[in-house]
Structure 1
């Protein structure tokens, strides 16, 4: 794909950096002038935040003590084992915190021997002595219930070891839920100063970070997520169209002063009135770094774009989601 595409569109700068590094490491032939573009995911989470409800036993339980919420499919890279180790240590030390995990078991179609740590995670969650008490594993949760879980929780916990973007951070911020996340580039890119960060891979490392976060919360000094920026899918599409437009031909440039039909002018004006100005970030592929997210490409006689494509968990590529290729015909 890199040999054919004019540009590769990545869902974050972190993905673009990783993709460039992967291409360089594997000495992949690139088309001259190949560009790596950055286009953040959209998030259609506008509208009023619902009032918090605590009229169910589940929501009452979540709100009864500081609850750390994890949202996402059960997968090896999501940090569930480290999190369980951390909370077992906290509980043993008398810390009355709660762990709430919302997410279904992942990679179920794969043979057991290809599912890596998932069976062990599921076994620990299913048989844990604290399940139903201070450990809640919730599956099949609808959007309305998830909204109320966000509102009842104390903190979004994201210990994921690798992400292409990090949409749960934006969802949590919409509800004013503070963030405690692993210190990886994409989370810094998405959350900036509106999150607390932790490092280390052991349960002790995360337990220490949770203690520090709880202490900061008690003092009112923990980072607040309110005000985190995001883009809607409408803005995402408008920016994508800007990125894939072919260069204007000399003929088109010479006709630039010609009056456009009234209908076309009205359409253009309407679009300009509603669109957030596109802010794509591009850099020469020879200057940057490998994607934790997958790549997909397309070639045709005109400008085309491939949507972000996720590879299977067993793909030989180190990229799981996050890059798309575009190829344009010469004017």
Structure 2
């Protein structure tokens, strides 16, 4: 399994996917199979160490040279009888008698190229199209992405939908002592609106800041958990421009999983105003934690939430502000609104329980084992 994303400056959601899926694959490996992580040459590959996963094995080329080699069709095989690429960074073609599966997380390079750098959008379109043409199979996280991929990057590689999962550490409340220590260290407010994700244009955090400054918004602080990404979004500056008081914005930056568990379980409501998503892990994780979700009408978020969240149109901060206010008010309501919200939270927990990394790994193993048998049969 290529675990290169774990060594990226900002691993993001694909980094979490890589780590969680690799660990689950190792834990569910069929008899005779082992899972080894593979990375390009780095001075310190320790960030790609995953419990239960062998390696990481280091390829002879640094990242930039590896990308260039694969772009030029150099058949540098990462090793193993089967390779899983959890991002579009993958060998140009499967080795004879062996299989290659590539995960494509979204079709943003086609549908929302303005939310990526021009170079990033071009590169992703190229490598995704190549994978669709030459890999043995493509994995996507939602049916939405599968349909969009057929539209924008058709090809012979079959597409399988395999959803993400929720780590046990995020589904269950942290122990009280840990929660108290982390709450004090991060200076978390008693009640707050939470957003989780890399701070970049696609996540819609600029819209959220604008929404929270409106008179229709709940009178709560906004807490943002996630590292800074590309695009140079300065949330504090955006807050000043929108008229949101500085004491109502708390930007935590990158947090550990243990910290995220505390931040998530203490939240009053999760806001997910993304312009586009392929899946939306924070939405699923909030559902599992029993935190109500207000999300945009990005199709993948609609699919993941399954009607258990509060839906708002993308790019409409007033609608977002009102929806957040309604959810916050309902949390303290003992009447019909409170009961409806409680029912939605229960339904969300039940839906989230169907998404596990173990289930995702088992589905991926079935795909890999079947492809491997076919590949070996072709040699005979």
C-alpha separation in 2, matches of 1:44 and 1:206: 28
Cα deviation, 1:33-79, whole Å, max 9, x if unaligned, reads: x422111123332685324544644677522x4x1100111010101
- C-alpha distance after superposition, 1:197-235 (max 9, x if no partner): 111413222112223323433331222132223443333
Change (3 A) 1:329 1:5: farther
Instruction: Structure 1 unaligned segments of length 5 or more: list them.
Output: 108-114, 250-301, 304-327
Give the stretch that moved more between structures: 140-149 or 69-78.
Answer: 140-149
> Residue 7 of structure 1: which of 101, 123, 137 is its match?
137
**Which secondary structure does the structure 1 equivalent of 2:134 belong to?**
coil
1:1-331, aligned counterparts within 5 Å? 1=130, 2-23=132-153, 30-31=155-156, 34-45=157-168, 48-52=172-176, 53-54=179-180, 56-57=183-184, 61-63=188-190, 65=191, 67-90=192-215, 95-107=218-230, 115=231, 118-121=232-235, 123-124=237-238, 130-131=245-246, 133-217=247-331, 218=333, 219-220=337-338, 221-222=340-341, 223-224=344-345, 225-227=348-350, 228-244=352-368, 245-246=370-371, 302=375, 329=378
Deviations 1:134-158, CA, capped at 9 Å, x for gaps: 2111113222222111122101110
Q: TM-score, normalised by structure 2?
A: 0.54
> What displacement does 1:196 show?
1.5
CA apart distance, 1:248: 6.6
Q: Which has the larger radius of gyration?
A: 1
**Higher helix residue share:** 2
TM superposition score normalised by structure 1: 0.61
Q: Flag the structure with more relative contact order, 1 or 2, with Cα contacts below 8 A and sequence separation at least 6.
A: 1
The whole-number CA distance in structure 1 between the counterparts of 2:318 and 2:358 is 43
In structure 2, the gaps of 5 or more residues are 1-129
Q: Give distance in 2, aligned partners of 1:8 and 1:144.
A: 32
**Does the Cα contact within 8 Å between 1:194 and 1:226 map onto a contact in 2?**
no
**Count of paired positions:** 234
Q: Secondary structure at the match of 1:226?
A: helix
RMSD: 3.0
Report deviation, 1:241. Answer: 2.1
Distance 1:148 1:239, change over 3 A: same
Preserved contact between residue 138 and residue 160 of structure 2 (Cα < 8 Å) = yes
Cα 1:168–1:202 change in 2 (3 A) is: same
Distance 1:140 1:247 in 2: 38
CA positional deviation for 1:238: 2.0
Report the counterpart of residue 18 of structure 2 in structure 1: none
